Amino acid sequence: MSKFEYTATGEDNKQHSGTLDAADENAARTALIRLKLKPVVIKELKKKGGFSMEISFLTSKKVKKKDLVVFTRQLATMINAGVPLVRSLATMQKQTDSEQLQKRLASISKDVESGTAFADALEKHEDVFGPIYVNMVRAGEAGGILDEILKKLATQQEKDAALKAKFKSAMTYPMVLVSITVLVFIALMTFVVPTIGSIVGDLSGGELPTMTKVLLKVSDIMVTYWWLELLIVFGGGFYLFRFLRTTRGRQVKDRLLLRIPGIKIIVIKMAVARFARIFASLMTAGVTVLDSIEITAKAIGNTVIEKELMQAAKQVANGEQFSEPLSKSSVFPPIVSQMLSIGEETGQTDTVLLKVADFYEEEVDAAADSLSSILEPIMIVVMGAMVGVIAASVLGPISSLSQNI
């Protein structure tokens, strides 16, 4: 049993506060209703002392994308079969393995049962469902096609998750190679070079080539001031992490990603694929063009592209077709605005953009494979050159000594 602190409204419309024991938050809410109190706030009191104290950073409050996709698809199936929404939500609450999603669904189910629109209930948990999800559900409710919209949502989420996975996969391999290169360099300079360097120095009587002297000096600094290096690495890493979480930091990072050869291509193609699929999904659901642009802009994940789309939204608000400002974009390829223009002329914008999304998702795959195939030999050459310079600096004096003997 856990202890809960509550604030509730009674039949006399006065607020009542207190504590009660219950198995969980839902049980506490039920107990209050039985007492003819309407819950306003229910908060679990954490136990203090010993190992019973909850460590919040070990408990994830996020709902996994996979769990959300499964919930969305199964909910669509149940609604399509004619099961009432409240009953469907109650069933999904019991069926899901995600504890966090169970808690959110319990709250959403109660809101819907009390007469709140499904989209409005979801909006209270926007950190889980997001503006795309909420707006598509709202449009689906208004049009009486909630089951169809939920199916499209599940597909869109699956595609989006797959796209992010491809990008992470493309970035992981180069990062692993760079990390290995740095670790090999540190190991050579702190363990191998000092040992061999002292032997070479003793045998040569201090007369060493300039390259060898420089190498030994760098190695000596790395060994002597190792604590300063660790401080710089961890301090710099902490500062960089904090900086990248700021608005300014995200802008710098996003601009940089759009300037690095190789990575720039993947970022643009991924952004175009996400834009096309999300925008098409919103248009299919019946969301207005202006709202679709603004929602998509915030979901792209790149502040530079978001800024361009928001500027395009202003021009659309002034009466222009969306394809016009998009054709002047420095990020979106010309084919995107041309395809969008065709969609606007034929009234099939969503269909055309889904084809664009399919095309660019395949392009992301090809670009990721291409980047890996290019970076692999480059990093091997860099590692070989690094080891070669160290070997030449150390073994050169040894070779000279052997010739003089």
DSSP 47: P
What's the pLDDT at 342? 92
> In the structure encoding, which two tokens stand for residue 34, read together?
């039985």
Q: How many helices (H) and strands (E) does the chain have?
A: 17, 3
Per-residue pLDDT of 324-364, as tens digits, reads 988 888 888 898 889 999 988 988 888 898 899 889 888 88
Residue identified by tokens 């030449």 is 392
Residue 177 near residue 381, CB atoms below 8 Å: no
Greater pLDDT, 374 or 122: 122
Alpha carbon distance 357, 258 (integer Å): 20
Domains of the chain: 2-47 (3.10.20), 65-151 (1.20.81.30), 152-405 (1.20.81.30)
For residues 170 and 367, the answer to whether their CB atoms sit within 8 Å is: yes
The count of other CB atoms within 10 Å of the CB of residue 308 is: 20
- The β-bridge partners of 314 are none
Average pLDDT over residues 102-113: 89
pLDDT recorded at residue 222:
86
Q: How far apart are CA 118 and CA 132, in angstroms?
A: 14
Q: What is the pTM of this model?
A: 0.65
Sheet containing 15-22: give its strands across.
15-22, 2-9, 38-44
Tens digits of residue pLDDT in 184-225:
888 888 887 787 777 776 666 656 777 778 888 888 888 888
| pLDDT value, residue 160 | 80
Q: What share of residues in the chain are helix, strand, coil (percent, to 5)?
A: 75, 5, 20
pLDDT (tens digit per residue) in 240-298: 889 888 888 888 988 998 888 878 888 888 888 888 888 888 888 888 888 888 888 88
Of 49 and 81, the structure prediction assigns the larger pLDDT to: 81
Confidence of residue 403 (pLDDT cuts 50, 70, 90): low
* Structure tokens given for 285: 């659901």
Q: Tell me: the pLDDT tens digits for 117-166?
A: 888 888 888 888 888 888 888 888 877 888 888 888 888 888 888 877 87
Q: What is the pLDDT of residues 5-61, one digit of tens each?
A: 777 777 766 666 777 777 667 677 777 777 777 776 677 765 544 433 333 333 446
What whole-number distance in Å separates Cα of residue 249 and Cα of residue 241?
9
Categorize the per-residue pLDDT at 168 as very low, low, confident or very high, splitting at 50, 70 and 90: confident
